[in-house]
Structure 1
Amino acid sequence: MFNDIGPLELVTLIVLAVLVFGPDKLPKVIQDVTRTIRKIRDFSDSAKQDIRQELGPEFKDFEFEDLNPKTFIRKQLDNEDLGLKDIRSGFDLKKEMAEVTDAVHGRDAEPATPSASPSSSSSGSSGGRVDMSKKPERPAAEERPPFDMDAT
């Protein structure tokens, strides 16, 4: 429940609780808080059971975590009936992005294989990777538009 609280933060919370409630009232406050949390958990569990009973037997394996979109998509991607794994394996996002990047920068894409013909050089790329060490060519100083100090 509190996995992201570090030891220093825990000590700080304990010291603050002792200062706010005092050492005499602190055990009673802790009991009240734990009792309230237990009641909330029981209420949510009974609400989940009521919803499952109302939905009927066809939703027996329904989990409320499935309502989270990320969980739903992850489950559907693992489902073999839809054939999504074949679609995902046939689509190379890195290659597509490299081609788009090359087109935006006005560079000709390099052939994917060394034996590719020059006519196929526009469809291939350098293994789906973009060479970030190359700096894009900049126009000469006389080709640049005039700089307006007042506009900036």
Structure 2
Amino acid sequence: MFTELSPMKLIAIAIVAIFVFGPEKLPEFIRNATGVLRKVRAFADSAKQDLRSELGPEFKDFEFEDLHPKTFVRKHMLEGDGLAGLEEIRNALDLRPELEEAAAAVRDTADGREPGAVSLAKDAGTNPSTRHAFDPDTT
């Protein structure tokens, strides 16, 4: 939460707090703020414990952080046998074998020179003089 606070930002926050609350009331405000923070944490911990006890013994080691989507995927898909399932999905979505098969069929058809087939190979014997001249006035 506070990872993006640099030392200069913390000093600026402290200076603003001194101006807002004054040097006499600042220690009292900090004590009150930390007391409220402790109470909120205690309330959250007791709520977690109550929920775990209500869910039963099979959820005794349940962590609420596991509900985060990234953590859930990492825990269930990338650990143990989950990685093999991921490889199966990746291989099923890979289109390279089908594309290679289609390209081979096109090459085979073009090499067989069936009636009406168009050659896909470049003609090495094409004479440049037989090409039509480019007329810049027509474009």
State TM-score, norm by structure 2: 0.62
For CA contacts below 8 A with separation 6 or more, give which structure has more relative contact order: 1
Unaligned runs of 5+ in 2: 108-139
Distance 1:41 1:74 in 2: 27
Q: CA RMSD in A?
A: 2.9
Number of residue pairs matched by the alignment: 104
Residue aligning to 2:70: 70
Q: Which protein is bigger by CA-based radius of gyration?
A: 2
Per-residue CA shift, 1:94-148, capped at 9, x if unaligned?
xx5xx7xxxxxxxxx8x7xxxxxx62689xxxxxxxxxxxxxxxxxxxxxxxxxx
Residue aligning to 1:137: none
Q: Which runs of 4+ in 1 moved over 3 A?
A: 79-83
Superposition pairs for residues 118-133 of structure 1, below 5 Å? Answer: 119=104
Superposition pairs for residues 17-28 of structure 1, below 5 Å? Answer: 17-28=17-28
Per-residue CA shift, 1:35-83, capped at 9, x if unaligned?
0000000000000000000000011121111211221112111243454
- Identical aligned residues as a percent: 45
Residue aligning to 2:88: 87
Residue aligning to 2:31: 31
State TM-score, norm by structure 1: 0.57
